[in-house]
């Protein structure tokens, strides 16, 4: 149909690349966190477990879907968790500067994927310009 992307369009390839990159980074990050066995009583250990549980749930939910729905679901998940972060932060005392802490955590998560070593087992498509150098 006019205006819609077909399965072989550059937009579809970009979405597939972004989803496969998410999946590769998710698997690596979850494996790293599973190897790090922090003190179960520490607040940071709780935060790491909660993060891992949520990330694992997101990837499982996407993997259960049809290939054409995975990227859209991933994009929606980001909005849901941003909304949840805002909701939770609104219940924290203002003297703890919840907005600044939330924004710092958001930016940390945004750049975290860039800090992971590239996985050369994932999708590359240099013809579209969406792949990265080998």
pLDDT for the residue numbered 8: 63
Q: Answer yes or no: pTM beyond 0.75.
A: no
Q: Which two tokens stand for residue 44?
A: 């940071």
Say if residue 5's pLDDT is above 90. Answer: no
Residues of the chain above pLDDT 90, percent? 53
For the residues of 59-89, what is the DSSP string, one character each? HHHHHTS-HHHHHHHHHHHHHHHHHHHHHHH
Residues 6 or more apart from 86 whose CB is under 8 A from it?
Answer: 102
pLDDT for the residue numbered 64: 97
pLDDT digits (tens, 9 = 90+) for 54-112: 999 999 999 999 999 999 999 999 999 999 999 999 999 999 999 999 999 989 988 88
Least confident of 41-50, 62-71, 108-117: 108-117
Provide the b/e sequence for 82-91 (b: ≥16 CB within 10 Å).
eeebeeebee
Per the rule left: phi > 0, alpha: psi between -120 and 50, beta: everything else, 129 is: left
The torsion of the CA quartet 120, 123, 128, 130, rounded to 10 degrees, works out to -70
């Amino acid at each position: 149909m006019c205006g819609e992307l077909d399965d072989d369009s550059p937009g579809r390839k970009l979405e597939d690349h972004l989803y496969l990159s998410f999946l590769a980074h998710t698997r690596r990050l979850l494996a790293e966190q599973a190897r790090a066995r922090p003190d179960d009583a520490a607040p940071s250990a709780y935060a790491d477990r909660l993060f891992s549980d949520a990330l694992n749930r997101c990837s499982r939910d996407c993997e259960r879907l049809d290939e054409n729905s995975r990227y859209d679901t991933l994009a929606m998940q980001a909005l849901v968790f941003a909304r949840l972060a805002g909701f939770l932060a609104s219940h924290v005392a203002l003297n703890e500067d919840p907005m600044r802490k939330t924004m710092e955590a958001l930016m940390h998560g945004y750049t975290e994927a860039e800090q992971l070593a590239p996985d050369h087992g994932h999708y590359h498509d240099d013809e579209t310009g969406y792949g990265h150098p080998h």
